[in-house]
Amino acid sequence: MPDPPAATDKRIHLKDGRSLGYAEHAVPAGTPVLVFPGMPGSRLLCLPAEPARALGARVLIIERPGFGLSDPLPGRTLLDWPDDVEGFADALGLDRFAVVGLSAGAPYALACAYKIPHRLTSTAIVSGLGPVDLPGAIEEMPRVRRAGAAIARRAPRLLGLVFWFVADPHRDLERFVRRMTSPASAPDRAVLARPGVREMMERSYLEATRAGVRGFAQEAILLSNSWGFRPEEISAPVYLRHGLEDASVSLSAARYAARALPNCQATFLPGEGHWLLLDRWGEILAALLAGQADAQSG
């Protein structure tokens, strides 16, 4: 099982009074790397600690508004997130930092690359959710997520109620995990069978929705519609890693992002699925920190 964070119940306060929850891995004085988990994800995402220790990385997993310890932000947009990230970094005294977006966290990492590139040293998206307003992107998603995206687009006010009935892990954790993992490909089923991985996911899902599913529903609405920017508008370097056996998000949308991003180093990995981060965290960190060194030397 990946290592749990060294400190899991931390939070900072933004200038508007809201809190952001986060967890911290590995090297407190190391090079800062901010991780944005998937949906519904929390700071309890466990990552292998040894690569961060070996590379001298300070890994900070941040919860978005409405998840875990992070206060909600009614009416938020995807492009509000870079402002929160800047507030988070300022509170911790971080000048520049790398960001990693995992799955549904990928659009948030790209939003930072679009809006605050001057604060970033490097950006990575891993098993990332691409733009869902592309032709065919929603059709490639698993059936349960297609249904959620359809409601998010056509009847967004109903989504919170629908999620409360069918997508609240606190009502029926076993059913929720079964729904979330049902599209898993063979490589992902192998990862989920490892000791402690499923338990980590369960803890993270429960923590993400500790205050209810409104944050979950709000995020589903945001990510089911236009992001407010296009990948073509991002000039910052982006590292992309995606498994060719990833059945959880649209592969064609990931390929589109790789083509559209002007400065993208993309690797599509045969025989790997959505949870490739757990096995490739070391090489992803190494790429990010190499990018940081290039940014500093430049």
To the nearest 10 degrees (0 to 180), the angle between helices 214-223 and 143-154 is 90
Omega cis (within 30) before 270:
no
The whole-number pLDDT of residue 194 equals 93
Torsions phi, psi for 25 (to 5 deg): -110, 150
Q: What pLDDT band is residue 147 in, cutting at 50, 70 and 90?
A: low
Q: For the segment 69-94, what is each residue's pLDDT rounded down to a tens digit? A: 999 999 999 999 999 999 999 999 99
Q: For the segment 200-230, what is each residue's pLDDT rounded down to a tens digit? A: 999 999 999 999 989 988 998 888 888 999 9
CA separation for the pair 97, 123 (Å, rounded) = 9
Check whether 142 has a pLDDT greater than 90: no
* DSSP tally for the chain: helices H, then strands E: 11, 8
The whole-number pLDDT of residue 226 equals 85
Q: For 221-243, what is the mean pLDDT?
A: 93
Check whether 288 has a pLDDT greater than 60: yes
Domain 7-297 has what CATH class?
Answer: alpha beta
CA separation for the pair 55, 148 (Å, rounded) = 39
CA-to-CA separations, 10 to 13, 24, 34, in angstroms, rounded:
10, 8, 14
Dig out the tokens for 36 from the structure: 């944005």
The whole-number pLDDT of residue 9 equals 86
The whole-number pLDDT of residue 27 equals 76
The whole-number pLDDT of residue 28 equals 77
Q: For 149-171, what is the mean pLDDT?
A: 72
Report the percentage of the chain scoring pLDDT > 70. Answer: 85
Full-model pTM: 0.92
Q: How many of the other CB atoms lie within 10 Å of CB of 138? A: 18
Q: For the segment 52-62, what is each residue's pLDDT rounded down to a tens digit? A: 999 999 999 99
Q: For the segment 29-41, what is each residue's pLDDT rounded down to a tens digit? A: 899 999 999 999 9
CA separation for the pair 265, 124 (Å, rounded) = 9
In 53-210 the beta strands, taken as DSSP E runs, fall at 57-62, 97-102, 120-126
Domain-wise residue ranges, the chain: 7-297
